[in-house]
């Protein structure tokens, strides 16, 4: 049975006959809001104050926040909690910080916390962290996952104020790769607010400086970690997503390359080979890269985790010492 039908069946028990049109409308609206509905929405659907009171007394409605209700038959979830918080906040309220990062599906953000930012004078409590803002700029708000949410740019700026820089770097590369932010847009917004001493602006700006315009973003958190490891060791930044040609013939696109050193670096996750056919294709690809004049270094996620210093030493040993770093 569909979720809307389940809620209608439970919510429509206010009389012996079939659910009224008002009940059906309110049940469908609540289903779109993860089982959440407000008193004003109930009234707007044609529900009387008496029927609302009856449903509260019978348990078909429960109070989640002042003026915000949950329908019997709806499943508790993180999204329902976000819906309650945003609905309670009302106009001028947006999911933000860790909550917005998860709604934007930023890599590495799977937190179950609920954060909202609002222009209203609300207090943190009941599992909801409230951040007060004076006013919103239109560029700072959007919708994601069906919720009012801070824009992807604003979200990165907010989490940069409280999260470790390595976590922010992974999220930034993920957002750049997916095209939900651009370096230009993020730099512009940082210039707008950074001068006012906004927390998190400085480390985020340093990450942007490390990514020249036109530089390909990392394709995975592992690539972001590898680039950061080389940078911390004082090695020059390699070319990302480097395309190799043999004459006019395209050979391959590789994770990283130092073309001046004739060195290609490929990062291999835990599920690197999915079968014999893929394994043979990878070997043939490597042969073509080497035929084009490159040495190929494979680095696994496990090696990165267990021996980062050894990884750096290996990369350094394969670079031509006659060339300046």
**pLDDT, tens only, 251-298:** 999 999 999 999 999 998 765 555 667 778 888 999 999 999 999 999
Among 209, 238, 258, where does a domain finish? 209
User: Are 94 and 195 members of one domain?
Assistant: yes
- Identify the bridge partners of residue 295 per DSSP, sorted by sequence position: 263
Position 258 in a domain: yes
Q: Tell me: the pLDDT tens digits for 51-100?
A: 999 999 999 999 999 999 999 988 899 999 999 999 999 999 999 999 99
- Per-residue pLDDT, 219: 84
Q: Tell me: the pLDDT tens digits for 154-165?
A: 999 999 999 999
pTM of the entire structure? 0.79
User: Are 241 and 190 members of one domain?
Assistant: no
User: Are 225 and 268 members of one domain?
Assistant: yes
Among 157, 174, 209, where does a domain finish? 209
Position 135 in a domain: yes
Position 85 in a domain: no
Q: Tell me: the pLDDT tens digits for 194-219?
A: 656 677 888 898 888 888 656 777 88
- Per-residue pLDDT, 275: 63
User: Are 62 and 103 members of one domain?
Assistant: no
User: 280 or 150: which carries more pLDDT confidence?
Assistant: 150
Mean pLDDT for the chain overall? 88
Roughly what angle, to the nearest 10 degrees, separates helices 221-232 and 165-178?
A: 130
- Per-residue pLDDT, 271: 54
- Tell me which residue range forms the domain holding 44: 3-76
Domain of 252, CATH number, reads 3.40.960.10
Host H or E run for residue 128: strand 128-132
- Per-residue pLDDT, 94: 98
Pairing relation of β-strands 263-268 and 68-71? unpaired
User: Are 192 and 254 members of one domain?
Assistant: no
User: Are 228 and 174 members of one domain?
Assistant: no
User: Are 109 and 68 members of one domain?
Assistant: no
**Local confidence band at 242 (pLDDT 50, 70, 90 cut-offs):** very high
Per-residue burial over 280-317, b = 16 or more CB atoms within 10 Å of its CB, e = otherwise? eeeeeebebbeebebebbebbbeebeeeeeebbeebee
User: Are 107 and 201 members of one domain?
Assistant: yes
Per-residue burial over 228-267, b = 16 or more CB atoms within 10 Å of its CB, e = otherwise? bbbeeeebeebbbbbebeeeeeebbebbbbbeebebbbbb
What's the start-to-end Cα distance of the chain, in Å? Answer: 64
| Domain tally, the chain | 3
Q: What is the DSSP string of 74-115?
A: PPP-HHHHHHHHHHHH-TTEEE-HHHHHHHTT-TT-----EE
- Per-residue pLDDT, 212: 66
Host H or E run for residue 297: strand 295-300
Per-residue burial over 51-75, b = 16 or more CB atoms within 10 Å of its CB, e = otherwise? bbeebeeeebbeebbeebbbbbbbe
pLDDT surpassing 50 at residue 153: yes
Among 177, 209, 241, where does a domain finish? 209
User: Are 60 and 161 members of one domain?
Assistant: no
User: Are 228 and 282 members of one domain?
Assistant: yes
Looking at residues 22-46, what average pLDDT do you find? Answer: 91
Roughly what angle, to the nearest 10 degrees, separates helices 201-209 and 183-194?
A: 150
- Per-residue pLDDT, 194: 65
User: Are 167 and 225 members of one domain?
Assistant: no
Position 324 in a domain: no
DSSP tag of 214: T
The Cα 65–Cα 84 span in angstroms is: 7
Report the percentage of the chain scoring pLDDT > 70: 89
Cα-Cα-Cα-Cα dihedral of 50, 56, 59, 62, to 10°?
150
- Helix, coil or strand: residue 120: coil
Q: How many CA atoms lie within 13 A of 304 on its CB side?
A: 20
**Local confidence band at 42 (pLDDT 50, 70, 90 cut-offs):** very high
User: Are 201 and 104 members of one domain?
Assistant: yes
Looking at residues 14-19, what average pLDDT do you find? Answer: 42
């Amino acid at each position: 049975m569909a979720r809307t039908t389940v809620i209608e069946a439970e919510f429509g028990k206010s009389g012996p006959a079939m659910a009224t049109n008002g009940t059906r409308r309110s049940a469908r609206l609540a289903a779109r809001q993860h089982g959440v509905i407000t008193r004003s929405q109930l009234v707007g659907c044609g529900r009387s104050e008496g029927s609302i009171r009856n449903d509260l007394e019978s348990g078909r409605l429960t109070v989640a926040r002042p003026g915000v209700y949950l329908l019997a038959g709806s499943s508790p979830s993180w999204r329902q909690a976000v819906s309650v918080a945003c609905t309670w906040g009302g106009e001028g309220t947006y999911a933000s910080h860790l909550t917005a990062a998860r709604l934007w599906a930023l890599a590495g953000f799977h937190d179950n916390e609920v954060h909202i930012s609002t222009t209203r004078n609300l207090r943190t409590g009941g599992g909801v962290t409230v951040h007060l803002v004076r006013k919103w700029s239109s560029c700072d708000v959007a919708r994601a996952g069906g919720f009012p949410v801070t824009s992807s740019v604003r979200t990165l700026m907010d989490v940069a104020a409280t999260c470790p820089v390595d976590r922010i770097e992974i999220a930034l590369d993920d957002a750049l790769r997916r095209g939900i932010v651009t370096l230009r847009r993020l730099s512009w917004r940082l210039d707008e607010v950074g001068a006012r001493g906004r927390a998190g602006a400085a480390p985020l700006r340093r990450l942007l400086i490390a990514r020249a315009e036109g530089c390909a973003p990392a394709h995975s958190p592992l690539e972001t970690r590898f680039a950061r490891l080389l940078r911390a060791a004082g090695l020059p930044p390699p070319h990302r997503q480097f395309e190799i040609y043999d004459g006019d013939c395209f050979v391959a696109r590789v994770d990283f390359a130092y073309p001046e050193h004739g060195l290609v670096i490929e990062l291999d996750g835990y599920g690197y080979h999915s079968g014999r056919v893929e394994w043979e294709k990878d070997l043939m690809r490597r042969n073509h890269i080497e035929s084009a004049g490159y040495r190929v270094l494979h680095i696994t996620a496990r090696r990165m985790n267990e021996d980062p210093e050894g990884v750096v030493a290996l990369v350094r040993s394969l670079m031509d010492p006659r060339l300046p770093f």
